[in-house]
Chains A and B, each alone.
Chain A
């Protein structure tokens, strides 16, 4: 037997198909997905058979948190946060609120995805560093109670400001499935008081329920 020369193995793996697949996946993700908004409270929307989609733009989302007591049961004192999808108009909205912010504070406000501080604390809140802000926001919320001598509650002032900037603003209520109706009712009746009676309720498609309903 002749001496077998050990051939040096070429371990070059062709990565082209892999890169093809990757590009495809990446394109898919880039085109179909929307970025998750950083919300101060985790909200689990209820499932529904409705398949209507949320309008693309000009939506003022009202986030109603399921504030829980020490026992983990909802207390009915849910906090309210808001977010608006157009940063340009958001700047104008905060300008209409009748509070003075420094340009730096305003920049922070617009850059934040969700807002929900009482008006008197807003300036101080915006001056804080980002880490502290994200820790404090979940403890705050837009007050729904009317203040003496003021015609509108702070919540209504925000909605009104948004309405002035964008008369076609659409309102979407995003509330947790477990939050009690009492909290949502408060928000709804404040909206009704200002003649804003048409709004969207954000849900998620419940495929099981939809299939069940289709079979009946």
Chain B
């Protein structure tokens, strides 16, 4: 009301104080913030893309990709934290073919196994190599190039480069890759399925498949005391 009176009459202009009480506004904002904090989730969930082989029985045998036996590794995920692996062609009558591993980051861990897996067969003249080593060097090189010139490597190009490295193409040369066959038992926890898929990503393995356990696999696991 004060300001109304002083405005007229040409008197000395009084300094006006327009103080608005913000307390109700703050009250309301607090309420709204509380509501948003309680009813929303901040982080969007991440996701993994997975492509399973088709069950289509009409697919011809010759269309299927046969992985070289010396390049493959079979991983069995059992209940609890148990995990086993076997190199190359499954030897169903040899219980020692199945080797135990664990989820740790040590030399007994499955990551160590995957990153030190040798492929190649000297008997056919193919040189022995460790796919992870080749790819690690290539990816590090790519990362360095990206760090030097980030504009030349937007996400789409970077991902495509990573995919081609995983596919075994490094600087236009073909290097050996390995194939991982993942066989989770029914009692394996879903967490470990995700874990093993993570390992594929960490160790730059582009070719892997989640397969069903056959009766032979089950018999083999039974020899190790695993109920599948």
* A contact set with B: CB distance below 8 Å: 12, 14-16, 18-19, 22-23, 25-26, 29-30, 32-36, 45-54, 64, 76, 172, 174-185, 188-189, 191-193, 195, 197-205, 209, 212-213, 216
> Which secondary structure characterizes the binding site on chain A?
mixed
Query: In the complex, what residues of B have CB within 8 A of residue A32's CB?
Result: 42
If A35-B39, A76-B186, A204-B46 touch, whether A198 touches B201 (CB-CB below 8 Å) is: no
Query: In the complex, what residues of A have CB within 8 A of residue B8's CB?
Result: none
When the two chains form their complex, are residues B54 and A46 in contact, meaning their CB atoms are under 8 A apart? no
When the two chains form their complex, are residues A213 and B198 in contact, meaning their CB atoms are under 8 A apart? yes
When the two chains form their complex, are residues A177 and B46 in contact, meaning their CB atoms are under 8 A apart? no
Binds A, one of B17-25, B94-102, B120-128, B171-179: B17-25
If A195-B56, A201-B48, A201-B194 touch, whether A212 touches B105 (CB-CB below 8 Å) is: yes
Of A46, A54, A172, A197, the contact of B194 (CB 8 Å cutoff): A46
When the two chains form their complex, are residues A36 and B39 in contact, meaning their CB atoms are under 8 A apart? yes
Interface centre among A50, A52, A181 (most CB of B within 10 A): A181
Of B42, B50, B55, B188, the contact of A200 (CB 8 Å cutoff): B50
When the two chains form their complex, are residues A181 and B188 in contact, meaning their CB atoms are under 8 A apart? yes
Query: In the complex, what residues of A have CB within 8 A of residue B201's CB?
Result: 49-50
B118 within 8 Å of A (CB atoms):
no
B9 within 8 Å of A (CB atoms):
no
B45 within 8 Å of A (CB atoms):
yes
Specify the chain B residue showing the minimal Cβ separation from A36.
Answer: B41
When the two chains form their complex, are residues B40 and A22 in contact, meaning their CB atoms are under 8 A apart? no
* 23 residue pairs bridging A and B, Cβ less than 8 Å apart: A15-B22, A16-B22, A18-B26, A19-B29, A34-B40, A35-B40, A46-B195, A48-B194, A49-B198, A51-B46, A53-B45, A54-B45, A172-B47, A176-B190, A180-B190, A181-B193, A185-B184, A189-B55, A198-B52, A199-B50, A202-B45, A205-B43, A216-B115
When the two chains form their complex, are residues B202 and A204 in contact, meaning their CB atoms are under 8 A apart? no
When the two chains form their complex, are residues B36 and A184 in contact, meaning their CB atoms are under 8 A apart? no
Q: Interface size class for chain B?
A: 35 or more
> Which secondary structure characterizes the binding site on chain B?
mixed
**CA–CA, A188 to B186, complex, Å?**
13
Of B25, B47, B189, B202, the contact of A19 (CB 8 Å cutoff): B25
Query: In the complex, what residues of B have CB within 8 A of residue A25's CB?
Result: 29, 33
Query: In the complex, what residues of A have CB within 8 A of residue B212's CB?
Result: 185
When the two chains form their complex, are residues B51 and A198 in contact, meaning their CB atoms are under 8 A apart? yes
Interface centre among B25, B48, B49, B192 (most CB of A within 10 A): B48
B30 within 8 Å of A (CB atoms):
yes
Query: In the complex, what residues of B have CB within 8 A of residue A47's CB?
Result: 194
When the two chains form their complex, are residues B50 and A181 in contact, meaning their CB atoms are under 8 A apart? no
Give the Cβ gap from B56 to chain A, nearest Cβ, in Å: 7
Give the Cβ gap from B131 to chain A, nearest Cβ, in Å: 15
If A180-B189, A198-B51 touch, whether A203 touches B46 (CB-CB below 8 Å) is: yes
Query: In the complex, what residues of B have CB within 8 A of residue A19's CB?
Result: 22, 25-26, 29
If A46-B195, A184-B190, A192-B55 touch, whether A18 touches B46 (CB-CB below 8 Å) is: no
Give the Cβ gap from B182 to chain A, nearest Cβ, in Å: 10
**CA–CA, A64 to B54, complex, Å?**
22
B185 within 8 Å of A (CB atoms):
yes
**CA–CA, A76 to B21, complex, Å?**
60
Q: Which 10 A-B pairs have the closest CB atoms?
A: A15-B22, A182-B186, A33-B40, A22-B29, A177-B191, A29-B36, A192-B55, A46-B191, A46-B194, A200-B47
**CA–CA, A48 to B198, complex, Å?**
6
Query: In the complex, what residues of A have CB within 8 A of residue B55's CB?
Result: 189, 192-193, 195
Query: In the complex, what residues of B have CB within 8 A of residue A26's CB?
Result: 29, 32-33, 36
Query: In the complex, what residues of A have CB within 8 A of residue B25's CB?
Result: 15, 19
Query: In the complex, what residues of A have CB within 8 A of residue B48's CB?
Result: 48, 50, 52, 200-201, 203
**CA–CA, A202 to B197, complex, Å?**
13
